[in-house]
Amino acid sequence: MYKVVFEVVEVNEPRSLDGEPTHVSGPCKIYGVGDKVTVTGNPGRLVLEETDSVCLAAFSAILPLTSAMCREVTEPWDYMDKIKYYSCPDSERPVVFRVTRVPVEQGEVPLRKPE
């Protein structure tokens, strides 16, 4: 099993795709470069101790990917190890994440707090 770390590598200034003025002011207010979101398990679960901030729009976009990325890759046609970057769905000021799969240590229970 893997946990998946999404690290912010780029926060873009607002821009309109059609050249018209945009109503958005400034870059993303939730993420900054270096912020991380860590997800583990299937279905994907947020690891709060390893997460800096959560944007629900970005999280809803990355969550379907995480359940596939948390499992072992065994098939030669599987492309999960090839995904390196992912973007949030904000078309005017997208945030770009670097995607890293981290093996969960044997015996590690990443979702439970120590008793």
Most distant CA pair in the chain, distance: 56
Q: How confident is the model at residue 106 (pLDDT cuts 50, 70, 90)?
A: low
State how far the Cα of 31 lies from the Cα of 10, in Å rounded to an integer: 9
pLDDT tens-place string over residues 42-64 = 666 888 888 899 999 998 888 88
Query: Looking at residue 36, what is its pLDDT?
Result: 93
Question: pTM, whole model, 2 decimals?
Answer: 0.79
Per-residue 3-state assignment (H helix, E strand, C coil) for 69-83? HCCCCCCCCCCHHHC
Q: How confident is the model at residue 34 (pLDDT cuts 50, 70, 90)?
A: very high
Q: Is the pLDDT of residue 31 over 90?
A: yes
Contact 30, 110 (CB under 8 A): no
Q: How confident is the model at residue 8 (pLDDT cuts 50, 70, 90)?
A: very high
Q: How confident is the model at residue 104 (pLDDT cuts 50, 70, 90)?
A: confident
Arithmetic mean of pLDDT, 20-40: 87
